[in-house]
Amino acid sequence: MERQAGAMVLNVSEFSRTGIIACQLNLHLYA
């Protein structure tokens, strides 16, 4: 159970980081 929670936290942090990078790329492309 704890392992799953840790994996979920890692997935969320990875997802948010890639999302932020994608937002920055979009800003550069459409600015």
pLDDT at residue 1, as a whole number: 62
What torsion, rounded to 10 degrees, do the Cα atoms 16, 18, 22, 27 define?
Answer: 60
Domain extent, residue 14, equals 1-31
DSSP letter at 23?
H
* 3-state secondary structure at position 6: helix
pTM for the whole structure: 0.47
pLDDT at residue 31, as a whole number: 62
**Each residue of 1-31: pLDDT tens digit?**
678 887 888 788 888 899 899 989 988 887 6
Q: Count of domains in the chain?
A: 1
